Amino acid sequence: MSNFFEKSDLSRGDAENIISDTLQKCDDGELYLENSKSESILLDDNKIKNSSYSSDLGFGFRAIANEVVAYSHSNEISKNSLKQSAENLKSTLKSAKGVYNHEIAKSNKRYYENINPIDQKTLNDKIEILNNVNKYLRTKDSNVKQVTANFLGEQKSIEIIRSGGETLTDIRPLIRFNVTVMLEKNGRKETGVYGIGGRNSYDSYLKDDNWKNVCDEALRIASVNLESKPAPAGEMKVVLGPGWPAILIHEAVGHGLEGDFNRKKTSAFHNLMGQKVASESVTIVDDGTIDNRRGSLTIDDEGTPTEKTVLIENGILKNFMQDRLNARLMKTKSTGSGRRENYRHIVLPRMRNTMMLNGNHTQDEMIKSVDKGIFAVSFGGGQVDITSGKFVFNCTEAYEIINGKIGSPIKGATLIGDGPSILKEVSMVGNDMMLDPGIGTCGKAGQGVPVGVAQPSILINKMTVGGTKL
Amino acid sequence: MIKNQEYLSEKASYCLDIAKKLGATDSSVVVSNSISESVNFRNKKLDESNRSDNLAIGITTYIGKKKSSISSSNLLKENLDTLIEKCIETTKNTPEDEFNSLPDKDLLAKEVKDLNLYDDAHIKNENKIEYLERLEASASSDKKIVNTESSFTEDKSNFILANSDGFSKGYKSSSFTASSVIVAKDDKSMERDYEYTSKCHLHDINSAEELGKIAAEQTIKKLSPKKIGSEKIAIIFDKRIAKGILSTFAGAISSSAISRGTSFLKDKINQKIFSDEIDIFDKPDILKGLGSRSFDSEGVKTNTLKLVEHGLLKHYLIDTYNGKKLNLKSNGRCGGASNLYFDNGNISYKDLLNSNPRCLYITETIGHGSNIVTGDYSVGATGFLIENGDFKYPINEITIAGNFKDMFKNITLANDLEFKYTTNSPTMMIEGMVVAGK
């Protein structure tokens, strides 16, 4: 574990005194300390293009009085620096009249090992795999014109010190391995991307030459796209494949169910608690407790143990995702969803692993039921306007469906829908739930955090497909 | 207080010395400090205050043609020693790349131009609050407004870039930004829109009243949107969206996309990619310009480039590494374009709206639908239907799609360019795009 006070003129006792003094008339707040180490090794254009290492150290000091949040951060852990931050917080919250809430849930459960993935594999081993990826892909298909492959590894140690000296800690490993391949055939270029990762060692994901499977998948997607035709434009039925396409759930309903937007009544869902928001076959949870998943957390960034939060159960809206601030103001409990990108950022309620649970249909049934529509297998990114509820995501692998049969692949198109109504349009939920491969990053208010998604195949009655073919 | 040039220079030269001692044949370092103070309001009340003080150091070491880099926020000597040692170790173990090198010495900037990028003014939180009170009062005048969130941010930064060829330069810059995000509601819909102002100098920002008024008006206008059918129609892009199309163009002519062969604009130098009337400039020396700079992130001097002249592509955006690969000299665009803009077109905004009896005016797009490998474009969009030059009603839940190769050739620009962002465009019309709706 990191000892944040080891090389500082600031002792733990000093820090505790400053924290307790600053937060005495506040409702909540804490000192958040973070030490992260990360590496990136990139192969591109036949060469190791980049090998870099980063170490980041800093604190964020937060004080909350009623609805007002004062935050100050610095990367100098010193007496002076913390005092300056304390002054800054006090000046914002001069008239605070709160009573500090000491209550915080406890749990001994851990969802990942205390490891540093960076040190567990030598640089030479990582470089060798990247070179093998390059050779493998270029040998496998002569249309391969570009290969990019990279390793990202990280270990983040955090410590939360609350008023009164209560201390919570966590050490979080995270890795990601990604391959992008570009094919060129008859003057046409297309790319395919695939990656894997999570909160474990590189080797746990790469054993048995698993990197080859990642390459094969990227190559398969690019090859499919080389044969793709322009996508249709207009409203039609859409079948989504299992796994990663659940970013539809993440965008369409996940963000709208975050506590802050609902407390502020700016989410299209804010007045729908307890109401039917989806067809009966739809149950959605946000789960931070799955071992080694990218979106899992032992404790959130406020120290609350994470949990499995039921958001929608059999179509009924049950819970929002809450951090401490929004939970207090909405008179409920934190769901362990308080997250921040790093010490430079304030805590916001965020998703972890957002999952739609199994129903009892098969993908085959869904495809057969569609006269004209599309079958979307993989997506790039998505985005939502939580106020109007409109969301989009971009297909990276999709096919047309004609008369109950899968037809030609179609070019990357954006799909657009309306969050609050889309789940009512889900007419079949599959029995083939899959987790995504561990590559998602969710952006909100300029902060990126690792997340996961999962879903079975689903059939949506009506969505707008943003192709070019009228 | 922001760290001064002496402090940053001392750290930089310390790192260069250590790197040399440990066996680096070349090295470069950037040391920066930025302080940002912001205040957020929500529904006319203080919501958040935020102060951030960031120190950062980035070091790249070369041993011959081998290269590696490290970065850290911890500038204590002991930490720097450890990190540089690690960096040198990694450099030794990283394979050679013949194109790795510092920039050519004769291309390095000789001077730091005074571009008036720093305003020493410090606006206290009380004054930020006073500005936001006026802003939110102005934004909340209509009862359809149900939520207002506004913020005022003051940023100050300073940096030094140094390398083992003797380059060591840096300068301070500042920015003052105010923004307002409004939510309005009627019985049919809830909509959000925004307005913002950002300038290097405090007294250049828009008045609070004006900002609030514009944000509120734009939001109310979006209420009760309709969805239209799928069709081929002329699309007018508001300036705030048009600039994004220019950014995609910049991405597609970056020397890394070109040298890797992953751009639809590869091998298009001196070819017609836009219509005859289109000129695109990248001008780094605009006084108080939000994207202005004296040199790029490698220290290479930056001159104004006319990237597109009468529709012909004249330059890529080139850095040292990819330049060497393409057998071209760096033109000081490591890190991308500076103040990039489309020059004004020949017709007024009003005439542009009138140029088709029926068209769409797009004010917001969502999604990541620009593909620079294929040129394909498909995004979700929000805007207005225009008939005979008049805004008829708001539109949403549609997508617009096309391919940049065709879209670029069909651009018509109004003559209403202003320098509000780093990348700027007049209002833009593109004919022949496909809208997908009902």
DSSP string, B160-219: EEEETTS-EE--EEEEEEEEEEEEEE-SS-EEEEEEEEEESSGGGSPPHHHHHHHHHHHH
Same domain, B287 and B391: yes
Report the alpha-carbon distance of residue A317 to residue A191 in Å, rounded: 39
**Minimum Cα–Cα distance from A44: chain B residue:** B260
Q: Which amino acid is at A188?
A: R
- pLDDT of B423: 98
B86–A contact, CB cutoff 8 A: yes
Report the alpha-carbon distance of residue B13 to residue A319 in Å, rounded: 55
Last-in-domain residue among B198, B221, B244: B221
Instruction: Tell me the pairing of strands A47-65 and A28-44.
Output: antiparallel
CB contact under 8 A, A383 and B125: no
Q: Is residue B316 predicted with pLDDT exceeding 80? A: yes
The kind and range of the H/E element at B399 are strand B390-403
**Minimum Cα–Cα distance from A131: chain B residue:** B95
Q: Provide, as residue numbers in chain B, all residues whose Cβ is less than 8 Å from the Cβ of A411.
A: 374, 376
Q: Provide, as residue numbers in chain A, all residues whose Cβ is less than 8 Å from the Cβ of B53.
A: 73-76, 81
Structural domain total, chain B: 2
Same domain, B301 and B172: no
Contact (Cβ atoms closer than 8 angstroms) between residue A198 and residue A175: yes
Q: Provide, as residue numbers in chain A, all residues whose Cβ is less than 8 Å from the Cβ of B401.
A: 231, 233, 413-414, 466-468
CB contact under 8 A, B90 and A51: yes
- pLDDT of A222: 96
Same domain, B214 and B235: no
Whole-number CA gyration radius for chain A: 24
CB contact under 8 A, A52 and B367: no
- Closest Cα to residue A337, out of A387, A287, A291? A287
Same domain, B30 and B171: yes
Report the alpha-carbon distance of residue A319 to residue A256 in Å, rounded: 11
Same domain, B194 and B206: yes
Last-in-domain residue among B206, B221, B236: B221
Q: Which amino acid is at A424?
A: K
Residue carrying structure tokens 């916001």: A348
- Three-state SS for chain A is CCCCCCCCCCCHHHHHHHHHHHCCCCCEEEEEEEEEEEEEEEEECCEEEEEEEEEEEEEEEEEEECCEEEEEEECCCCHHHHHHHHHHHHHHCCCCCCCCCCCCCCCCCCCCCCCCCCCCCCHHHHHHHHHHHHHHHHHHCCCEEEEEEEEEEEEEEEEEEECCCCEEEEEEEEEEEEEEEEEEECCEEEEEEEEEEECCCHHHHHHHHHHHHHHHHHHHHHHHHHCCECCEEEEEEEEECCCHHHHHHHHHHHHHHEHHHHHCCCCCCCCCCCCECCCCCCCEEEECCCCCCCCCCCECCCCCECCEEEEEECCEECCCECCHHHHHHCCCCCCCCEECCCCCCCCEECCCEEEECCCCECHHHHHHCCCEEEEEEEEEEEEECCCCCEEEEEEEEEEEEECCEEEEEECCCEEEEEHHHHHHHEEEEECCCEECCCCEEEEECCEEEEEEEEECCEEEEEEEEECCEC
Q: Provide, as residue numbers in chain B, all residues whose Cβ is less than 8 Å from the Cβ of A50.
A: 69
Domain ranges, residue B141: 5-221
Q: In the structure encoding, which two tokens stand for residue B77, read together?
A: 């000597």
- pLDDT of B176: 98
Choose the weakest-confidence range: A306-315, A415-424, B21-30, B248-257: A415-424
- pLDDT of B416: 98
**Any bridge partners for residue B362, and if so which?**
B237, B383
- Max CA distance (Å), chain B: 72
Min Cα–Cα distance to chain A from B107, Å: 23
> Residue A303: left (phi > 0), alpha (psi -120 to 50), or beta?
left
Q: Provide, as residue numbers in chain B, all residues whose Cβ is less than 8 Å from the Cβ of A73.
A: 51-53
- pLDDT of A261: 95
CB contact under 8 A, B378 and A45: no
Report the alpha-carbon distance of residue A467 to residue B409 in Å, rounded: 20
Coil, strand or helix: which one is B234?
strand
- pLDDT of A22: 97
**ipTM confidence score:** 0.89
pLDDT, block means (10 residues), chain A with 470 residues:
84 96 96 97 94 94 96 94 94 90 91 96 95 97 97 97 96 98 94 96 93 97 95 95 94 94 93 95 97 98 97 97 98 97 97 98 98 94 89 93 97 88 94 96 96 98 92
Q: What percent of chain B has pLDDT over 90?
A: 98
Min Cα–Cα distance to chain A from B313, Å: 20
CB contact under 8 A, B378 and A414: yes
Q: Provide, as residue numbers in chain A, all residues whose Cβ is less than 8 Å from the Cβ of B71.
A: 52-55
Report the alpha-carbon distance of residue B390 to residue B32 in Å, rounded: 49
Q: Model confidence over B155-205: pLDDT tens digits?
A: 999 999 999 999 999 999 999 999 999 999 999 999 999 999 999 999 999
CA distances from B400 to A233, A384, A451 (A): 9, 16, 29
Last-in-domain residue among B191, B221, B251: B221
Same domain, B312 and B209: no
B437–A contact, CB cutoff 8 A: yes
Same domain, B163 and B266: no
Instruction: Tell me the pairing of strands A233-240 and A458-466.
Output: antiparallel
CB contact under 8 A, A390 and B230: no
User: What part of B 272-331 touches A (C-beta under 8 Å)?
Assistant: none
Q: In the structure encoding, which two tokens stand for residue A407, read together?
A: 């037809």
Report the alpha-carbon distance of residue B25 to residue B324 in Å, rounded: 19
Of A51, A182, A393, the CB nearest to B367: A393
- Mention every residue, 6+ apart, whose C-beta is less than 8 A from residue B127: none
- pLDDT of A332: 97
CB contact under 8 A, B367 and A57: no
CA distances from A140 to A2, A136, A321, A438, B435 (A): 45, 6, 46, 25, 39
- pLDDT of A96: 87
Report the alpha-carbon distance of residue B63 to residue B90 in Å, rounded: 10
**Minimum Cα–Cα distance from A269: chain B residue:** B190
Report the alpha-carbon distance of residue A21 to residue A86 in Å, rounded: 9
Instruction: Please provide the size of chain A in residues.
Output: 470
Alpha helices in B335-418 (DSSP H): 349-354, 404-409
Q: Which amino acid is at A48?
A: I
Instruction: Compute the mean pLDDT over every residue in chain B, rounded to the nearest whole number.
Output: 96
Q: Model confidence over B352-391: pLDDT tens digits?
A: 999 999 999 999 999 989 999 999 999 999 999 999 999 9
* pLDDT-based confidence at residue B113 (cuts at 50, 70, 90): very high
- pLDDT of A1: 56
Same domain, B216 and B262: no
User: What part of B 90-149 touches A (C-beta under 8 Å)?
Assistant: 90-91, 93-95, 97, 125, 146-147, 149
Residue B23, Cα to own-chain centre: how many angstroms?
38
Q: Model confidence over B151-163: pLDDT tens digits?
A: 999 999 999 999 9
Report the alpha-carbon distance of residue A195 to residue A306 in Å, rounded: 26
- Closest Cα to residue B243, out of B17, B428, B409, B96? B428
Same domain, B204 and B237: no
Residue carrying structure tokens 């003051």: B154
Q: Which amino acid is at B77?
A: K
CATH assignment of the domain containing B156: 3.30.2290.10
Report the alpha-carbon distance of residue B316 to residue B312 in Å, rounded: 12
Residue B375 main-chain phi, psi, to 5 deg: 85, 0
Q: Is residue B29 predicted with pLDDT exceeding 80? A: yes
Same domain, B157 and B244: no
- Mention every residue, 6+ apart, whose C-beta is less than 8 A from residue B438: A234, A235, A464, B227, B228, B229, B230
Instruction: Tell me the pairing of strands A447-455 and A353-356.
Output: parallel
Residue A333 main-chain phi, psi, to 5 deg: -105, 150
Instruction: Please provide the size of chain B in residues.
Output: 438
* Angle (nearest 5°) at CA A169 between A164 and A173: 165
Kindly tell me the sign of the dihedral angle through the C-alpha atoms of A415, A416, A422, A423.
Answer: positive
Min Cα–Cα distance to chain A from B293, Å: 24
CA distances from B379 to A124, A231, A468 (A): 42, 13, 11
Q: Is residue B50 predicted with pLDDT exceeding 70? A: yes
Of A124, A234, A380, the CB nearest to B230: A234
- Mention every residue, 6+ apart, whose C-beta is less than 8 A from residue B46: A68, A92, B39, B40, B129
Q: Provide, as residue numbers in chain B, all residues whose Cβ is less than 8 Å from the Cβ of A49.
A: 97
Same domain, B259 and B202: no
Report the alpha-carbon distance of residue A451 to residue A391 in Å, rounded: 18
**Minimum Cα–Cα distance from B70: chain A residue:** A53
**Minimum Cα–Cα distance from A465: chain B residue:** B436
* B386-405 as b/e: b if 16+ CB within 10 A: beeeeeeebbbbbbbbbbbe
Same domain, B134 and B280: no
Min Cα–Cα distance to chain A from B86, Å: 9
